[in-house]
A and B are shown apart, each in its own frame.
Chain A
């Protein structure tokens, strides 16, 4: 076991973990942040997407110690106080999910896309969420929600 200090959603969190633990398991089991979902735990579905220093990654393909010293953002960190953040609002507004299992990963992927590219084209949106599978096939609404999220984010002034 090794002690790690992780910075998650703006808070410093100390944990004692085996280095083989994935960031996903530590977020969910040690820190109680269950927004990032475990779909495949092998980098093939995207439901565990988190931001590391603002960039989307799969938490299941990241060893927890590799995340030390980085700024980690999960879907919980995208709230605007107690209210939903702009990407979350846009997903609700456009009904961009059915079962909802992939949704937090989709939202974080869109947040990462918009931080790098605040006004993406439809093609850029499609590429931006191409690492997130939706078995319900809600893609058309996810693309619309991502476009709407760009508008909402611009209206609320940048990074959520």
Chain B
């Protein structure tokens, strides 16, 4: 049973912001992560502010610069079906269609997917863990096969989003509104590691909402998203890799490689990017670059399997890019 709360349906962003002042006031977009968190008592709610009737928060439109603007409340199903997304940023369509199940994609929103809380079973369970203000991370020395191998400490969650690594690779920005005003920031500045902010996964202040996701123009852009999960469907990533590459004559001029499911935030694999820029990503380059993907990794007792997994999907994704090149 969910805790008892008041329910209000805002009609405008301004009205929603007025309601979102209280400590235990929660914003409801698709609601799929909100209801899960409330049922698991991850946080409390005394008021839920629904955005379903707020106009202008859904839909996908061309930006003046040729990029795309995606309303924060656009569902994942709409993102994955959009002909503009598929045409310009196929990796984003792949990532959106890899989330959860058809029903959850019909309900879950793109902004919600970026802002969802982690799935760590200690965080979701009845443990007063470090992230919830407790003294320790129970994943250290506990059951940690789904936890972070990169960027962990003092908390070892992995960021669960599929669209986040892809949007970061695409150099997307988010528009954030709050009572104090409005700002647009790059996703690179949006997610934070637990060593910086233990209690939250991004820089959103209480009462702020993500209204838009902004994608820069995509001329000559190759993008792909590869996710590995334990089941063939409806599961979070054990590891994933998002690629966004530009090339001239098969030679990479610009590379963004971001890992998902392996770190507390989408994890930019800069060593891989350095290894492939200026090359045609032949077989040896792909293999060497993939090996660099796990540089600095510090697996816990039960999750070292993620290292060869990461190397495998990075190499596979780079080989796919190479094969895709028109000869």
Contacts and interface: CB of A to CB of B under 8 A. Distances in A.
Given A58-B104, A131-B102, A18 B233 contact: no
A79 interface: no
A152 interface: no
A127 B1 CA distance: 30
Interface stretch (B27-35, B59-67, B153-161, B212-220): B27-35
A42 to B, nearest CB: 6
A74 interface: no
A34 interface: no
A119 interface: no
A56 B106 contact: yes
Contacts of B28: 63, 66
Contacts of B102: 56, 109, 112-113, 127-128, 130-131
Q: Is the interface of B mostly helix, strand, loop or mixed?
A: mixed
Interface string A38-68: 0001110010010000011110011101100
Interface residues of A, number: 27
B106 A65 contact: no
Interface string A117-136: 00000000001101110000
Contacts of B2: 20, 22
Contacts of A2: 7
A3 interface: no
Nearest to B35: A61
B55 to A, nearest CB: 14
A132 B234 CA distance: 9
Nearest to A130: B233
A19 interface: yes
B129 interface: no
Contact of A43 (B3, B5, B52, B104): B104
Nearest to A126: B233
A128 B105 CA distance: 11
Contact of A42 (B39, B100, B232): B39
A61 B3 contact: no
Given A63-B28, A63-B31, A127-B102, 6 more contacts: A20-B7, A57-B106, A58-B104, A61-B36, A61-B103, A62-B31
Interface of A: 2, 18-20, 22, 41-43, 46, 49, 55-58, 61-63, 65-66, 109, 112-113, 127-128, 130-132
